[in-house]
Amino acid sequence: MMRKFLRLLKILRVSVGYGLDEIAISGLKKPRITKLIDTVFFWRDLSAPRGVRLRMALEELGPIFVKFGQVLSTRSDLIPADLVIELSRLQDRVPPFDSDLAIAQIRKSLGAHPDELFATFERTPVASASIAQVHFATLKDGRQVAVKVLRPGMKKSIDEDVALMHIAAEWIGNVWADSKRLKPKEVVAEFDKYLHDELDLMREAANASQLRRNFADSQLLLVPEMYWDYCSSSVIVMERMHGIPVSQIDRLEAAGVDLKKLSSDGVEIFFTQVFRDGFFHADMHPGNILVSIEPETFGRYIALDFGIVGTLTDYDKDYLSQNFLAFFRRDYKRVAEAHIESGWAPKETRVDELESAVRACCEPIFDRPLKDISFGQILLRLFQTSRRFNVEVQPQLVLLQKTLLNIEGLGRQLDPDLDLWKTAKPYLENWMGEQVGVKGFMQRLKAEAPRYAHIFPQLPRLVHQALERHAERPNDNTELIKVLISEQQRTNRLLSLVIYVVGAVALGVAGFQLYHRFHHLL
């Protein structure tokens, strides 16, 4: 309790020292309170821009608040543009912890000293972040690996800081009129979830394994293999990946990497993860992306650090794809209709008014290269529009927005002339064709066939049992029995029809495949 109290005092001291009260009260529009606080804390130097002061305050409060600031930098709907720009500059950089602590953690988690587990183990870490640090090692069979070790004492620190964030979110929800739409409590809850997910390194290993399986046949992306015999919740061992950091443009050019292709490949990887898999790497900043220069995998992306991934439901994917395609086709009316149909905008919203507002946001950016546009500014204008029309922000899509902004920054570095719209539009159109066309129908039929195969044969028996239960009742309604018998007969006819149709489709598909193979052999 005393530790939490002291932490709260430090947060208040830092907040007051950097004038963060000025930002909060400006949102509440209470000028008299602002003047009173300025008089009480007359000694403060508030000459620096408020965004700079906010960034410096979060850095002083430590890695948990830095991570929260990084999440907030994606919420252009919640904070002004000048704050977004500064928060996007936050870096998750902390000094490495003592190697003896890392060795003790490995011994505790894997049951042996690193010298017993590995042929070699480098005591000096190669990377350090707020959650964990990484050491290089070599397995006894000669395979090179990277050992990721959880920073000691992180769970307790996270629990205490996030608990204070929950209190702050509760307070904001009670006093801020716009809180219902902006959902501060939900934002903190999402942040809490993702932080605790990062604490479980087995979850990260599983995320990496899933992403590796999704791109097993891909010529675009490499994901390190996890060595499960050496993995636990606080230590994981993975294949060591060799490549050039994607931010080192000069080295990539010197190695002969085609930057334009690399840029378009990044867009394709992003849309493949989102719309094909509904499972995407949500921390794709340049520090987590390498480019392979090995001859057999030259020019492919290498993904690292899988602590944060995003998932989308089929409903989310369908909604997003419709919006993306509508944007690409400049069908702003469809964008407006999709927002209202999904419940994101109130039902009473006029389609033509929302359509006009979206057009004003998006029309200026088309037919322009990436170097001349900014998704940050587009999103800001869209969120300003959403505020006007009381569109509710969906917390589950915050990670997607963050990832899209990372993709923008990556593309801007690699190929400033990249036309994101023209690159993404064919992929989305092809994906939508697969979803709503014959191929999509066959895939869904194939996926649902085991369920229907289990249900259909039971229908006559279930109806018969229902009739028997009705027949056993003393005051049974004869007319109802007749109706049930009629329904049973109709169900039997329908079942026969379904069987014939499914059989015909299956025979048709099989015949087409045999014809295609025979024709190919000729």
Task: Using CA atoms of 145, 151, 155, 157 in order, give the dihedral in degrees to the nearest 10.
Answer: -150
Strands 301-303 and 221-222: parallel
Other Cβ atoms closer than 10 A to 385: 16
In contact, 66 and 88? CB cutoff 8 Å:
no
Sheet (strand 301-303) strand order: 221-222, 301-303, 289-291, 244-245
Q: Is 131 annotated as a binding residue?
A: yes
Strands 301-303 and 279-281: unpaired
Calpha distance 266→289 (Å, rounded): 10
Q: Is 127 annotated as a binding residue?
A: yes
The owner of tokens 């500014």 is 377
In contact, 339 and 391? CB cutoff 8 Å:
yes
Calpha distance 382→399 (Å, rounded): 17
Six-digit token string for 492: 């039997």
Q: Is 378 annotated as a binding residue?
A: no
Q: Is 128 annotated as a binding residue?
A: yes
Rounded (5°) CA angle 51-88-266: 160
Other Cβ atoms closer than 10 A to 140: 10
Q: Is 129 annotated as a binding residue?
A: yes
Q: Is 94 annotated as a binding residue?
A: no
Other Cβ atoms closer than 10 A to 211: 21
Give the DSSP H/E element, type plus range, for residue 289.
Answer: strand 289-291
Helices (H), 92-176: 99-110, 114-117, 154-175
Q: Is 126 annotated as a binding residue?
A: yes
Calpha distance 190→132 (Å, rounded): 21
Q: Is 424 annotated as a binding residue?
A: no
From the list 161, 192, 283, 305, the catalytic residue is 283
Annotated catalytic residue 415? no
244: three-class secondary structure by DSSP: strand
Calpha distance 250→459 (Å, rounded): 67
DSSP annotation string for 103-127: HHHHHHHHSS-HHHH-SEE-SS-SE
Q: Which of 173, 191, 174, 190 is nearest to 182 (CA)?
A: 173
All residues at 6 or more sequence positions from 122 whose CB lies less than 8 Å from its CB, including other chains = 135, 136, 137
Q: Is 81 annotated as a binding residue?
A: no
In contact, 111 and 117? CB cutoff 8 Å:
no
Q: Is 148 annotated as a binding residue?
A: yes
Calpha distance 336→345 (Å, rounded): 9
Helices (H), 286-389: 314-328, 332-342, 351-362, 375-388
Catalytic positions:
283
Residues in the annotated binding site:
126-134, 148
Residues in the annotated binding site for ATP:
126-134, 148
